[in-house]
Structure 1
Amino acid sequence: MPVKPEILKVTNTANSRLFKVEEIELRFSNGVERTYERLANRGRGAVMIIPVTEDNEVLLIREYAVGLEDYTLTLPKGLIDPGEDEHQAADRELKEEAGFGSHKLDTLKVMTSAPNYMGHKITAVVARELYPCRLQGDEPEEMEVVKWPLEKLDQLLLDEDFTEARAIAALYMTRSFLQK
């Protein structure tokens, strides 16, 4: 196992409402020093929910993604609020974004995106035993809920509106989890 580099200095270089950019000065075990930048972790993390119905359909949502400047098909997700664990956050976000609650929640995996540049983590949670329940969330518009048969996952991957890598990974993990 390699020896972790020594952190010499952390400098906050920029802040926005959502992001904190840090410059990290490191010294590696061989004496080489480098400066890196990262989007720092600013909270308790987030959850991505994979809601599965009794008919083995996954509930997707269509929401506006400002990074793409278009609507995208994805899974419900959101930040873990203070005082919540990942299951409480998953149930709340599912109610806010898809209009369903869950009696059975299982954590699959904590995932990262671009960990060389970001400290953000998202926990994939499978939600089953669903029931209708809507909470008011912070979304600017109600999201369309799209049911998709899990056995037709390969067809979903061909859909040009379904592109989020974390959602793709979560669905493959869910399919494996449910087959056990």
Structure 2
Amino acid sequence: MSRRLPQIHNVVEEHIGPFRQQQLDLEFSNGERRHFQRLVSGGHGAVVVVPMLDDETVLLVREYAAGLHRYELGLVKGRIDAGESPIEAADRELKEEAGYGAHSLDVLRSLSLAPTYMSHQSWLVVARQLYPQRLPGDEPEELEVVPWKLAELDQLMLREDFSEGRSLAALFIAREWLRGGA
């Protein structure tokens, strides 16, 4: 079913770090009025990189996750800087976080975090034909790089220290894309 988007009557905005919190006064097509809150990203989005060491092995990184106060295993990821394309940001983040560059980078799609209340989007990029190259990054410590076989995603998806939704979704999407004759 196709519906007309709600009419926005008013927006009240407050800045919170890199985000803007907005309170929307909405009217739906059936006449119902509601207030919704959303976080609007202040940047240019982010990238989630699936770095393929070879046809069967992805490189994961282990880094401190302040939100959960633990070390978390996941994919290379980071923000897209002003003037960067998702491809350029993916290559830079890969060099900063994992110590590799890529000769082949493919943008597969965008992923949203929580589209009912956030505008943030991350671009899923598959990186292949890797070569060693490190750039200084903004991480407070060097990240541990962990090779993982795509054939063992069933084991990875149940690990307590691998819980970030973008990383999990990106691996399954990339695996299917790679199987399809990339």
TM superposition score category, shorter chain reference: over 0.9
Match of 1:155 in 2: 155
Question: Is residue 93 of structure 2 the alignment partner of residue 104 of structure 1?
Answer: no
- Percent sequence identity is 51
Match of 2:141 in 1: 141
Match of 1:10 in 2: 11
Question: Which residue identity lines up with residue 155 of structure 1 in the other structure?
Answer: Q
Shift of 1:26: 1.0
> What TM-score does the superposition give when structure 1 sets the normalisation length?
0.96
What is the alpha-carbon distance in structure 1 between the residues aligned to residue 74 and residue 30 of structure 2? 43
Moved over 6 A (4+): none
**Aligned positions of 1:1-180 closer than 5 A:** 1-13=2-14, 15-180=15-180
> What TM-score does the superposition give when structure 2 sets the normalisation length?
0.95
What is the alpha-carbon distance in structure 1 between the residues aligned to residue 100 and residue 62 of structure 2? 15
What is the alpha-carbon distance in structure 2 between the residues aligned to residue 116 and residue 61 of structure 1? 29
**Secondary structure in structure 2 of the residue aligned to 1:81:** coil
What is the alpha-carbon distance in structure 2 between the residues aligned to residue 18 and residue 66 of structure 1? 16
**Secondary structure in structure 2 of the residue aligned to 1:125:** strand
**Secondary structure in structure 2 of the residue aligned to 1:158:** coil
Question: Which residue identity lines up with residue 67 of structure 1 in the other structure?
Answer: G
* 1:116-148 Cα shifts (integer Å, max 9, x gaps): 111111111000000001011111111000000
What is the alpha-carbon distance in structure 2 between the residues aligned to residue 160 and residue 69 of structure 1? 13
Shift of 1:55: 4.9
**Secondary structure in structure 1 of the residue aligned to 2:135:** coil
Residues 18 and 41, structure 2, Cα contact 8 Å, conserved in 1: no
**Secondary structure in structure 2 of the residue aligned to 1:138:** coil
Residues 27 and 33, structure 2, Cα contact 8 Å, conserved in 1: yes
Which ranges in structure 2 are unaligned for 5 or more consecutive residues?
none
**Secondary structure in structure 2 of the residue aligned to 1:114:** coil
Question: Which residue identity lines up with residue 175 of structure 1 in the other structure?
Answer: R
**Secondary structure in structure 2 of the residue aligned to 1:91:** helix
Q: Single out whichever of 131-140 and 25-34 deviates more from structure 2.
A: 25-34
What is the alpha-carbon distance in structure 2 between the residues aligned to residue 158 and residue 44 of structure 1? 32
Which ranges in structure 1 are unaligned for 5 or more consecutive residues?
none
* 1:45-95 Cα shifts (integer Å, max 9, x gaps): 100000001252100000111100111000010110111110000000000
Residues 18 and 43, structure 2, Cα contact 8 Å, conserved in 1: no
What is the alpha-carbon distance in structure 1 between the residues aligned to residue 134 and residue 27 of structure 2? 50
Q: Single out whichever of 16-25 and 98-107 deviates more from structure 2.
A: 16-25
- Give the superposed CA RMSD: 1.1
What is the alpha-carbon distance in structure 2 between the residues aligned to residue 55 and residue 177 of structure 1? 12
- State how many pairs are aligned: 179
Residues 47 and 86, structure 2, Cα contact 8 Å, conserved in 1: yes
Question: Which residue identity lines up with residue 134 of structure 2 in the other structure?
Answer: R
Shift of 1:17: 2.3
